Structures are given as C-alpha cells and as structure tokens.
A and B are shown apart, each in its own frame.
Chain A
C-alpha cells in the first residue's frame, strides 16, 4: 500500500469499516510511514473530540408541542369526515354517537378559537382590514401558522374555506402566516407577509359574493364601482396606510400596509404561483 492508497482509506479505517486483509495492509503502511500514521491519528482524534464534545439533543418539549400543533392544523377539516360519518350506513350506531359527541366538542373549541380573534369594526371590509393590520403590527393578531413557504399557508387556509385563497410567493418575503376566522357566519382568511426591511403586509380575503351582498361584510359604493370597472381600488389613510382591493377569481382581497404604494402594487402584481 502506498501513501495515496492509505489516504483514501483513512476515513474507513477511523470508522472501522476495513476488512481484515485491507486493514493489515493499512497498519503495515502506518508502521513504516510516520506521516501517514499521524494523519490517521489526527482524524481519529477529531472524530473522538467531536463525539465527546458535541452532545446529541432530544427535541425540546416545546418544539415537539409546536410540531404536534402544526400537524394538528394540517388535519383534514372536520366537515369532511362528518359527511363521511353520515354516509356510512354500516356504522354501529353507538360508535357513531361517540363520534358525534367528539365532533361537537371539537366544534365548540373551534368556535371559541375563532371568536378569540380580534376582528370587528362593523361591516366595512376596509375598516376591518385597517384594524386587523394595526392588530398584526402590535402583535395582537398573531398568525396561527407561519412558514417560509407560501404553499404551506395556502394549504392550511384552503382547508378551512370554500372560496379560493390567494397566498403569493412575494419577493423579499421573510415569512408569511395565515389565520382563519369567522364573522357572523362568514368565513374570512387573513394572510400576513413579513417583507424584509419593509414591515408587514396584511391581506384580508372573503368570498366576493359575501362582500357584494353586504349583509354581514360589505364595501363602500365607490370601492365596488372601481372594482367592477378596473378590477382594483386604492385608498390611503391620513397616517399613510395604503389599502389595495382587488379580485382574485371569486375572492375579494384587501391588502393593507405602510409599504410605499408603488412597491405594494408591484408586490401584489406578482403572479400567484399556487
């Protein structure tokens, strides 16, 4: 064995992977070549130091809980299996009863969760959006799920709505987060984007039909007219909050941010890849 062959086998020798004949040749060379032997010993030493000084860690409890919580959020909607439950005629009625009780308990907790989200401000979608933006800025409105991948948020939100959800892969976006809520029986979606160095961009989403009906949520007439005419509506508040409304298929989206208006429009004009 020469020095080159020895060098190639050092790692395997350190990790005790060499078969006996090769190992004999390896040690024979180490015996006559101090330089190679030294290199082998250095690698052995490095491995042992690493093993002794870098301890493996268990997943901390809070991380494990956050994992479980994230997994929980991705569970298929309870509505799907309620319908499946009623669709199965062979079910033992007792089992079905147990299932229904559990569904009821789950529904109550979901309802409580939805009510906890601080969204109000009358029917006006623009006012609601501005309030929610402020709440997001102060931390009062926290995304239920946050990810670097908009696809994760889209999946989560789409699971809880009947209208099409828009979650875009925006340039310079550090992360995005999603929240599902309900106001007077109307499902709402909230997406918060953290734009690097620019602050937050908040987007409120609701079924367009609900927005136009105006029973529980609604828009000012000038906003509806502009949306119908151009597909967009812009407004700026005295404290320089920009509000942009647009239609995404059957969904009304209302974005609020203090990001400059041009930058905001440029961001929102990027194609939604999802």
Chain B
C-alpha cells in the first residue's frame, strides 16, 4: 500500500518503484554475464551494482516498452569495457587462420565426434571450461555466453550487442571453434589425449 501511495505523491519515487519492478528482475542474467566476463564473484557483484546505479540514473532515458533487459545489458557491457577491461591485459589477438589449421589437423586425426567427446572433454573440470570461456576474445565470449549459457535467441542477442543477426551467427560459429581449440588444449595438458 505505502509504496503505491508514495508513487502518487512523488513522481521521482514513482520512477524508483517502476525501476525496481522493471529492472531488478533481470539481475540473474546480468550477474551471470558479469561473472563470466570478470571471472570472479567480487568484480561481478561490483559490476552488477554499478550497472544498476547507472541504469537508475538514466532511467528517464529508457524508452518504455522496449527491451529493458537488452538496455540493462548494454549498460553493463559498456561499464565492463570502460572499467574492468582497462585493468586486465588484453589477451593476444587470435589468428583465425591458426584455428582453421588446428581444425584441419583434428579432422584428420579423428572423425567421430562422439568418440572425441568421450576422449577429450568428458573428464575436463568445470573450472577448465570456465577458464577456456574466459580466455575467449570479448566479442565471441559475449555471444557464446548469451546463447549457450543464458539461452537467448539470436534476435535477442543481436539486440543486446547491437549488431545484425548474421553477425551473431558468425561470431557464435567462430567463438565455439575457438572454445573447442582451447578445450582441446586443456584436455591435452591434463593427459586426456596424446601429446602427439
């Protein structure tokens, strides 16, 4: 009763209530994205908090009826880029041709994916997979997280990252290839596959 009553009296308070109702329910997806981008719970918490602070400050700029989740996500992504990425040394640029060559070698040495799964990845630790994901270049990591972990559609991802659906498709393809290559490296290091 009381919050509704205040909403009538004070437009600013009404905005706050509206913000809590519209934005806060998306904290789970944002937190998971933050966790995968920053790689630790403390930074994820800070990033989430900062995202909501910014979102509240600019709530009047949010266009009612549009995708609030995508809007919040873009704030988080920009905050991450502006603040957290500065502090972390960017990984070396990936040469896509190297990955393609790697694939060609794999293709020759093994043709059965089910067997591969058993051999290569079945015994990988959750942390290995998480680390491999964190090592992906940001543009690929984002779409892979949103699609394969959060289960968003291509269209929604395209809205989140503000690019065409075709770009989402191609980033996913390349991102998963890179991820596969990294998982293969981990499997090799752990002795699940031969070193040669």
Contacts and interface: CB of A to CB of B under 8 A. Distances in A.
Contact of A67 (B49, B133, B150, B170): B49
B170 to A, nearest CB: 8
Contacts of A32: none
A17 B154 contact: yes
A220 to B, nearest CB: 38
Contacts of A55: 126
B48 A42 contact: no
Interface string B146-187: 011110001000000000000001101100110110010000
13 contacts: A41-B113, A43-B173, A43-B180, A47-B176, A50-B149, A56-B150, A63-B48, A64-B27, A85-B9, A98-B2, A99-B2, A149-B54, A152-B57
A67 B27 contact: yes
Contacts of A155: 57
Interface of A: 7-8, 10-12, 14-15, 17, 34-35, 38-39, 41-51, 53-60, 62-64, 66-67, 70-71, 74-76, 80-81, 84-85, 88, 95, 98-99, 102, 147-149, 151-152, 155
DSSP class of A's interface residues: helix, strand, loop or mixed? helix
Contacts of A67: 24, 27, 48-49, 52
A95 to B, nearest CB: 7
Contacts of B179: 46, 50
B10 A80 contact: yes
B78 to A, nearest CB: 11
Interface of B: 2, 5-6, 9-10, 12-13, 16, 19-20, 24, 27-28, 31-32, 35-36, 41, 44-46, 48-50, 52-54, 56-57, 79, 82-83, 103, 106-107, 110-111, 113-114, 116-117, 121, 124-126, 128-130, 133, 144, 147-150, 154, 169-170, 172-173, 176-177, 179-180, 183
- Closest 8 pairs between A and B when the two form their complex, measured CB to CB: A41-B113, A53-B129, A76-B12, A11-B172, A11-B173, A84-B9, A59-B31, A81-B10
